[in-house]
Structure 1
C-alpha cells in the first residue's frame, strides 16, 4: 500500500470516528426529546434504542441488498452523512410542529389510551427512523468502500472501523451530557451533530474520490464489486456457505439481543448505587460503548493471527457470557464502593467531578469486560463469512441481524423479563444465552481442534457453570443495600430495617421498608414518601402530602374533578377523598410497582384504594391528559425530585402551558417543589416557568423544606372553612398540624409578586424542555448538599418584612395553632408566644428554657437591665439580648400580642441615660408596630451610631428594618441608597439573602402593602 493510500485510509477512519460521535449525540439527545412524548426517561431510552437499532438494521440490510450495484460506496457514504446532517439540523422545528399538532389536534380526538399510545410510539418512531436508517447504512457503506479501495486483511479493516466508530460514539455520549446540553441545549446539540455530519460528508467525498482514483486500487475495485472474490469463492461450496451464513446470522442475532439485555440490566442495577441522574446514565452508556470500541481494536490488531474466525468468535461468546455473570457479583459490591466514595470525597464541585469519575470507573468495572468481548463479535462474525467466500453484502446482513437482535433484547428486557424475573436474573439469563452460543460454536468447529478438543470444550462448560454458580451465590444483590440510597447518604447498610415489598418494575425498582415505626417507599433507592402509623406523630412527608390534597379543597369553590400526577404513597389522593367535594380523582402513575408497594401503608391511605371515586391510571401524564382532551378543576403535581432523570421535564414552561390547557376556567394547580438538595438558581428557573403561565400564584411551606405553589388559572377566592368540619378529614388534618384555617394560612409565605421578585433576584431563565438546566444542575446540587432557604428566611428573620411588602400577617395568640413537630413557622410562633409570656411573668418561663436556652437567657438579661442594682448594664450584652428577642418575636406576633415585650412602661426606665439603647428600642418598637415611617427614621439613627459595642447582627437587623420601612413608605430609591451607604460596613450574615431580596424588590419597583391588604403604599399607622 502506498503512503498516499495509507494516509487516505487513516483519514477515513478519523472521519468515521467523528461520525460515531455525531451518531451517539443523536441517540442521547433523542432520548430527551422523546421523553417529552412518552413521559418517562426509561421508555424514551427504550424506544430510542429500539428505533435507533431498528433503523440501522434496515439501513444495513438495504446496503447488503443493493450495495453491489453502487459504483462508489464511499461516495454513497458521504451522501448518507450529508442527509443525516440535514436531518439533525431540521429535527427541532419538526419536533415542535409534531408535538403541537399531537397535543392540539390528534390526541384530543383519541379517547382510547391504548390507541393514544400506539399513535405516540408509531409517530415518535417515524421522527427518528429516517436518520436511523441512514446511520445504519454508514458502517456497511464505509466497510465495503474501504474493502474495495484497500484490499487486504478484512479483520483488520472491520476491527479498525468498529473501533473508531465506537470510540467516537463513547466520546459523543460524554460530549452531549457534559458539554453540549449545558452550553447550547437540545436544539444546539442536534445542530452541532448535524454540522459534524455535514463536515464528515464533505471530507469523505473528497478523500473517497482521491482514494478510488488511486492507480493502486483502481483495478482491484472492479473485482471486489462482484458478489464474491474468485479466491474466496472456491473456499466453500454454495450449500456449505449458506449453512454457515445462517449459523452466523442466527448467532449474531442472539448475541445482539443478549448484549442489549446486559446494557438495560446494568443501567437499572447501577442506578440504585449511583442514582438515577442524566449524568449517571450517560456515563454508563459511555462505559458500555467504550468496551465495544476496544473489542473492535483487539480484532484489528490480531486479525491476521486468527486462523478460524468461527472458533474465535465461539471463545469470545463464551468469555462474554462468563464476564457478564461475573459482573453481577461486582455490582453487588458497588454499594460499598459508592459509600466509600461518598465518605472520602468532599461535598464540593470538585468532589462531584471526582464522584462522576469514580462512577465512570465503577461502570467500567461492571460493564467493560463483557462489552469488550461484545465489541469483538460483530467484526469476527463478519470476518468468518467474508473469509468463507461471502460477498461484501455479508457486512450488511451481519450488522442488520445484530441490530434486530438488539431491538428484541431491549423490548424483552423492559417489558417482559425484568418485570417477571427481576434485573438480576434477567442479566443472568442473557449471560447464559451468550455462553450457550459460544459452546455451540465451539462444538461446531470441533473437527478443527486438536485431540484435546473435547477436553477444552468440557473445560469451557465447567468455567461457565462455575461462573453461573458464583453469580447466583455471590451476586444476589442485598435488598437493603438496593434500598439504601447510598448515593445520597453514603451509607450502604440499613441496620434495623425490614423489607416489606421489593419489585423490579418496568421503569424502576420500588421498595417499601420499615424502620423505627416508620414505613418508607423508595424508587431506585431514593425515598419518595415516609408515613408513620396513625397512632404515632406524623412524618414531615405526611404534612406535605396532606396539605397538597387540602389546598384545592379549600381554595377552589367546587373541585369536583381532580387529577394527581404521581401516586407516591397515595396519601394525597386519600386526603382528597376525605371530602365530599371531589366526584372523580384521577391519579396518574407511570410505574405500577409504585401503586402496589404503597398499599403497604394500610389505613393511612385506605380511601385511595377502596373509594369508588378513585381511579388510577398507569400512564404518562402528558399522554393521559391529552388523550380525550381531559379538563379538571384542580391538578396536583407531585413528581419525584427534579434531579431524577426525566423528572425535570415536569417543571418546564411547556409542561405548565400543557397543564393550563387541561384546567377549567377557574382551575387551580398545586405544584410541589423541594428546597433541599437544590440551590436558589435552580428553584428560581422552575418558578420562572410556572409564573410565566400562572402569574396568579402563591407559595406555602409545608414542613421545614418542602414547598407547595398554588397556581390559579382564574381569580382567587377566600378560604372555604367548611372543609375542616368534614368528619373524615378533621382528625387527619389535626394530626399533621393543619387542624384549623389559621394553621394553613400560617404556612403561606407570599404571592405572585414575591415569586416574581425571587426569580428576578437570580436573573433566572424560564425553564424549558429544550434547555434542561435543572436536570443537568440538580445532581451536583444534591451531591454538594445545597439548599434553597430564602423563602424560609424571609419569615424566620423575625422581622416584619413580608408583612410590610406582601401583606403577610402572623396569627394571633388566640388562634388555634398546634405546636407541630415539623411546622417551622408554627414552632417560631409558639416560641414567640412563650417569650411574650415570659415578659408578662417577669422572668423566663420553664417552658421557654426547655424550648430555647438562648431566648431564655436573653429575656432574663433584658429584664435584669431594669434592676436598680445594675443601672449600667453593658451595652454589648444588652444589644445581643434585644437582637435575639427581636428575631424571635416581632415578625411572628401581631402588634397587639407583643405589647409586654416592646411597649411595657418598664422599657422607658430600662433605657434611661443611654442614647444607644433608646434608639435601638425605638426602631424595634416601630417594627413591632409595623410603622413604616418610624422604622425608616429610627433604624437610620441606630445605623449612624459609631459604637463598636453594637453587634453586627443588630446592625444588620437595623439595615433590614430601614430598607423595609423605605419600601413600605414608597421610597424605593432610598432603599437602594441605604444599602450603598451602610451595607458595605455590615457583613452579610443570616440576613444577607433578605437584604438581597429587598434590593431586588426595590429595583423592580414593587411597593409596600396597604393596611387594607392590597398592594400599595403604607404609611405610619
Structure 2
C-alpha cells in the first residue's frame, strides 16, 4: 500500500472513531437520563451507567483481544459491530418503555423486600445497556489492530491518534447531547440519533473495507505483528495491566469527586454535569494526542509512563487547590454577567473554564497512560491482543473506582480526601514504575517525582482547605460567597448523592441545603416569627386533613427539614406516615432542627424509608390515602422527573380511590412556560386540582384522584396541629381561603393560555431550561397574579370570596394578606384622609394625596389623562383585593370625589369601577363596553383604558358571552399596548373564553 493511500486510510478511520466517540457519549449521557427514571436519582444512574459502560467495554475489549488474532478482516468486523450497536440504539426506547411498565406494574409489586427490588432494578437496568457496552468495548481494539495492520505509522502514533480521536468525539458527544440534540428531539430522538450515527459509521467502515479489503498489506498481515516476545514480557505484562487497572480506578475517583465538588460551586444542573464531563474527556483526548506526536522520540516508555503517573497524581492534588478557588471565580462571573440568555451562555462557558482548570491537568496525564502502557507491551513483543487487554484492565479498574467512590470512599472519608487518596496512589504507582520497572532505574526521576508529590501534598494540606461557609453559600444562585455575620455550619457531610449542610444564622434561623442549594429553613425558637419555608411545610402538612375525609396512611416524598412530617404527625387521625428520602445524610442533618421537628423522629407512626419513591411505592404495590410531594427544585439534575405526567400517573396508581396528592411547586427562578408544563402534567392525571399560595412565591396543589370531598375545617382545631398552624398564621378557614388561588377551571385556562404540553419523562424541557430561568431570575407570576393584579379576575371566574376582619391579618405576612392590608390602609387614607398607615408604602401615599388634590375640583379635559392614571394606579391596589362590602365609599359611591360635578368621561370611568367593585358582571359588561366606544375615551390614560378593557372582558365571561371576549380584544385592545401587570391577564381571559366546553369540565375522572 502506498504511503499516500495509507495516510488517507488512517485519516478516514480516525474520523470514523471521532463519530463513534460522539455516539458513545450520546449513549452514556442519555442512558443516565433513562436509568435515572428507574433508580430514582441522577447520581445513582450516572454511577450505574459509568460502571456498566466501563464494565461492558472491558469485557468487549477482552473478547476482542482473544478473538481478533483469528480474524482476517478487522475493519469489516468493526463495521458489523458498529451496525449492531446502531440497531440496538434504534430499538432502545421502545424496549425501555415496555420494561418500565412491566417492572412497575407487574414485577416490583411482587417483591416484599426492598433489597430484592433493588437487586432486580440494578440487574435489569444493567442488562438493558450491557450488550451495547460490550460491543462498544470491542471497537477500539479492533480498529486499532486493523489500522496497525493496514498502514505504516508507528505504533505509538496509531494508539495515541485513536485515543485522541475517540476521546475528542466523546467530548463533542457530551456537549451535543445536552445543548443541542436533547432539547430538539427529546430522549427518544437523541438515542435514535446515536443509533443512526453508528449505522453511518458502519456503512463508511464497510465501504473502506470493500475498497481496501483486498489490499496486499491487509491480506499479508493476518497474524500478530510480533511473533516472539521478550523473556521479561510476562512480568512486565502483569505489572502494566495492574497499572492500567489502578489508573482506571483513580481516574474515575477523580471524575466523580470533581463533579461532586464542582456541583457546590456551579450548581447541580444537567448543563454543569455535561460541561464537567466534557472537560474531563478533553483532558484525556489531549493526553492521547501528546503521545501520538511524541511517541517516536520516547526511548524509555516505562519511565515516561511513570512520570505521567506522578504528574497525574500531583495535578490531582493541586486540583483541590483550584477547586477551593472556584467559589470566588463563580461569584465573580455571577456578579459580572447580565442575567440574560447571552449571560447564561457566558456563564456556561465560564463554568467550562472552571471545570478545565480543575480537571484538565490530571485528566491530560491520565490520557497519556493507556497509550504508553500499550506501547510498552507492544515494544516488548506483545501481539495486537495486548491492546484489548490493557483497555479491558483499565475499564475494569474504572468500574471499581466508580463503585468505591460512590459506596465506600465518599460516605466514609468524604470527597476531598477520596481525591487526595487516589492522587497519592497514582504518584506511588509512578514512582514504582520509574524505580522498579524501568530498565534504567532512574534515580533522578524517582527523587524529583517523590519531591513533587511531597510538595503537592503540603500545598493541598495547607492551601487547599475548603471554607465550609463558601460550600454552603449557593454562590451559583446569589453570586456571593460572603456569609452573614455570625453564621456557622454545624453539619457538613458528603452523602452518596449530594453534600448536605446545615447552617445556623444569628437571627435564630437554621437552613438545610444540598450542594449549597437551600431546601428548607426554620426558626429554632418557636416564639420567633416563622420563615416563609415554615409556612409552606406546615401548610403541606395540614391540607391533607382538610381535604381528605379519613387520611390514615400518608406518604411524604422528601425529608427536607422534617417539618412537614412533624406537622402531619400532629393529628390523631393518621395511623402511619412513611417519608421516602433518597439521601440518608439529609435525614441525619435535619436532626439538628430538634425539637422543632421532634415528632418526625420520635412519633411511632413516623417511618423514614431511604429509597426512591417510584421503587418504594412499586415494591409491594403500596397504596396511600395521601401522598405529599416536596422534592427539590426541578433545575437540580435528576429532580425534574418528579414533576412529569408519567410520574403523576404513577402516583395516581398508588393512591386509594378517594386519595389526594399534595404537590409543592414554586414560581421564583422560573417562567410561566416551564411552570405551565408541570401544571399541565399534573392536571393531565388529576383534573380535579386546586392551588394555594403559601407565602409569596411557593405553591401547593391539592390534586384529587376522584371527586373532591367537602373541606373539613374541624381538623385544624385539633392539638397539637392547631398550635403549629396558629404559629404560621393558619388558625382559621379564612387563613386558608385567603391563600387559595383557584380550582380546576383556573388551572386548565392557565395551561391553555401558555399553550403548554404536559411535561414528560422523555422530553426534559424543564430540566434543560430551568437552570437558565434560575440564572435569569425569572418569575412565573401569571397564575398567582390573577389574584392581586388589581382586577377582580378570580372573583368572577372562580367565585373567589374572602371576607376577613383586618385585625385577623396582623400577624400574616403572606402575599395576599399583605395586599389586603395595604388596600385597606389606602382606603382609609383616601376616605379618611389619614395616610399614617401607608408609612411603609410612601409611593402609594403620595398617589393618594395627588388624587385627593386633583379630585377636589372639577377635572378639565386637559387633566383627565393625569387624573385617570392616578385613579387607575390606586385601583390596582384595591379594586380586586377588597370585597364589595369594603368598597363602599372607595369605588362604590366614592366619598373622595363629588361625582355629579365631574365631566361625563370621569363619571363613566367611576361607573365602570363601581360595577367592578360590586362584582356586577352585567353592569361591568355593559358600562365598560359603552365607555370603550366613546369617541373621547382616548383622553383616559392607557392604564385606565386597559382597566376598562379587562373589566369588559370579565363582564362578558360573567354573563356567559365568551364569544365577545375575542371581539373586545380585537376592537378595543388592538391599539392598547399590554402592560406588564394586565397583559398576562388579557391573554389569560382569551384562553379562558377560548374553549368554554372544556372550561366547564371540572371534576374527577
Is this a same-fold pair by TM over 0.5?
A: yes
Aligned partner of 1:897 among 867, 886, 892: 886
- Please name the residue that 1:1018 is paired with: none
Indicate the residue corresponding to 2:764 in structure 1: 772
Q: Secondary structure at the match of 2:809?
A: coil
| Cα distance per residue 1:96-133 (max 9 Å; x no partner) | 01000000100000011111111100100000000000
Aligned residues of 2:893 and 2:914 also touching (Cα < 8 A): no
Q: Which residue of 2 aligns with 1:229?
A: 226
In the superposition, relative to structure 1, how do residues 857 and 1006 fare at CA in structure 2: closer, same or farther (>3 Å)? farther
Secondary structure (helix, strand or coil) at the match of 1:727 reads coil
Residue of structure 1 equivalent to 2:925: 936
Between the aligned partners of 1:367 and 1:407, the Cα distance in structure 2 is 20
The answer for the alignment partner of 1:72 in structure 2 is: 73
Give runs of aligned pairs for residues 169-318 of structure 1, distance below 5 A.
169-219=170-220, 221-222=221-222, 225-226=223-224, 229-230=226-227, 233=228, 236-237=230-231, 240-318=232-310
* 1:461-610 alignment runs, 5 A limit: 461-496=450-485, 497-515=487-505, 516-532=507-523, 533-610=525-602
Deviations 1:811-843 (A, max 9, x none): 214487423453111111222333444566x32
Structure 1, residues 479-507: CA drift from partner, whole Å, max 9, x if none? 11111111110002214221111001100
Q: SS of 1:358's equivalent?
A: helix
Query: Residues of 2 paired with 1:217 and 1:468: CA distance?
Result: 51
| Gap runs ≥5 in structure 1 | 1016-1021
Q: Which residue of 2 aligns with 1:85?
A: 86
Paired with 2:785 and 2:511, the residues of 1 have a C-alpha distance of 29
* Residues 1:38 and 1:843: Cα distance change in structure 2 (over 3 Å): same
Q: 1:940 deviation in Å? A: 2.2
CA distance in 2, matches of 1:456, 1:859: 83
Q: Give the match's secondary structure for 1:603.
A: coil
Q: Secondary structure at the match of 1:448?
A: coil
Q: SS state of the match for residue 510, structure 2?
A: strand
> Distance in 2 between the 1:1008 and 1:332 partners?
55
CA distance in 2, matches of 1:357, 1:33: 27
Query: What is the Cα-based RMSD across aligned positions, in Å?
Result: 2.0
Q: TM-score, normalised by structure 1?
A: 0.95
Map Cα deviations across residues 21-61 of structure 1 (whole Å, 9 max, x no partner).
10000000000000000000000000000000000011011
CA displacement 1:829-881 (0-9 Å, x = unmatched):
222333444566x323522x224334444555555667579999953454234
1:305–1:817 distance in 2 versus 1, CA, 3 Å:
same
Alpha-carbon deviations, 1:627-648, whole Å to 9, x = none? 0100000101111001000011
Q: CA deviation at 1:798?
A: 2.5
Q: Partners of 2:655 and 2:1002 in 1: how far apart?
A: 27
Measured at CA, do residues 454 and 8 of structure 1 come closer, stay the same or move farther in structure 2, by a change above 3 Å? closer
Partner of 1:725: 717
Q: State which of 936, 941, 944 in structure 2 corresponds to 1:951.
A: 941
Q: How far apart are residue 803 of structure 1 and its match? A: 1.1
SS at match of 2:833: coil
Q: Check conservation: 1:112, 1:627, Cα contact below 8 A.
A: yes
Residue 922 of structure 1 corresponds to 911
> Does the C-alpha gap of structure 1 residues 60 and 892 become closer, same or farther in structure 2, counting only changes over 3 Å?
same
Q: Do the aligned partners of 2:300 and 2:438 also contact (CA within 8 Å) in 1?
A: no
Deviation string for 1:571-627 (max 9, x for gaps)?
A: 111111111111111101111111111111122211111111110011111111110
Q: Does the 8 Å contact 1:424/1:476 carry over to 2?
A: no
Which position in structure 1 is the counterpart of 2:796?
Answer: 804
What's the CA shift string for 1:507-552, capped at 9, x where partnerless?
Answer: 0001111223211111101111111131111111111111111111
1-side partners of 2:219 and 2:782: how far apart? 73
In 2: Cα distance, 1:877 partner to 1:382 partner: 83
- Which residue is 2:647 aligned to? 655
Selected match of 2:836 from 843, 846, 858? 846
TM-score (norm. length: structure 2): 0.97
| CA distance in structure 1 between the partners assigned to 2:104 and 2:775 by the alignment | 36
For the residues of structure 2 that align with 1:48 and 1:832, how far apart are their CA atoms?
57
Change (3 A) 1:1008 1:970: farther
Structure-2 residue corresponding to 1:998: 989
Report the number of matched residues.
997
- Is the 8 Å Cα contact of residues 434 and 445 (structure 2) preserved in structure 1? no
1 CA distance for matches of 2:334 and 2:132? 41
Distance in 2 between residues matched to 1:393 and 1:192, nearest whole Å: 32
- Distance verdict in 2 for CA 1:257–1:1007, change over 3 Å: closer
The alpha-carbon distance between structure 1 residues 876 and 439, as it changes in their structure 2 partners (threshold 3 A), is same
Cα pair distance change 1:906/1:462, threshold 3 Å: closer
How far apart are residue 907 of structure 1 and its match?
Answer: 6.8
Cα distance in 1 for residues equivalent to 2:539 and 2:817: 15
* Residues 916 and 398 (structure 1), Cα distance of their counterparts in 2 relative to 1, 3 Å cut: same
In structure 1, distance between residues paired with 2:856 and 2:86: 85
Distance in 1, matches of 2:872 and 2:106, equals 62
Distance 1:35 1:872 in 2: 67
* C-alpha separation in 2, matches of 1:872 and 1:421: 78
Q: Which runs of 5+ in 2 are unaligned?
A: none
Q: Tell me which residue corresponds to 2:668.
A: 676
Q: Deviation at 1:792? A: 2.2
Distance 2:897 2:828 in 1: 20
Cα distance between partner residues in 1 of 2:445 and 2:465: 30
Aligned residue number for residue 15 of structure 2? 14
2:52–2:133 Cα contact (<8 Å) kept: yes
Could you say if the C-alpha distance between residues 867 and 643 of structure 1 is closer, same or farther in structure 2, counting changes exceeding 3 Å?
closer
Residue 78 (structure 1) shift = 0.9
Deviations 1:195-222 (A, max 9, x none): 1101111111221343342224432x03
Q: CA offsets, 1:964-1010, max 9 Å, x none? A: 1011111122111111122133222111111110111112226999x
- Give distance in 2, aligned partners of 1:348 and 1:775: 18
Shift of 1:151: 4.8
| Residue 987 of structure 1 pairs with residue 977 of structure 2 | yes
Residue range with higher mean Cα deviation, 514-523 or 458-467: 514-523
Aligned counterparts of 1:870 and 1:85: Cα–Cα separation in 2: 78
- Tell me whether 206-215 or 902-911 shows the greater mean CA deviation: 902-911
Partners of 2:390 and 2:108 lie apart in 1 by 39
Tell me, yes or no, if the aligned pair for 2:251 and 2:366 is still in contact at 8 Å: yes
Q: Which residue of 2 aligns with 1:1019?
A: none
- Determine whether 1:614 maps to 2:606: yes
Contact 2:163–2:285, Cα closer than 8 Å, also in 1: yes
Query: Is 1:969 aligned to residue 969 of structure 2?
Result: no
Q: Against the structure 1 CA distance between its residues 81 and 344, is the aligned structure 2 distance closer, same or farther, given a 3 Å change threshold?
A: same
Match in the other structure for 2:373: 381
Could you tell me which of 358, 364, 371 is aligned with 2:350? Answer: 358
Most deviating of 984-993 and 143-152: 143-152
* CA pair 342-698 structure 1, distance change in 2 beyond 3 A: same
Q: Which residue of 1 aligns with 2:704?
A: 712
Call closer, same or farther: CA 1:217–1:784 in 2, change over 3 Å. Answer: same
After the TM superposition, which of the residue ranges 821-830 and 541-550 deviates more from structure 2?
821-830
Q: Which residue of 1 aligns with 2:677?
A: 685
Please name the residue that 2:748 is paired with. Answer: 756
Question: What secondary structure is seen at the aligned counterpart in 1 of 2:16?
Answer: helix
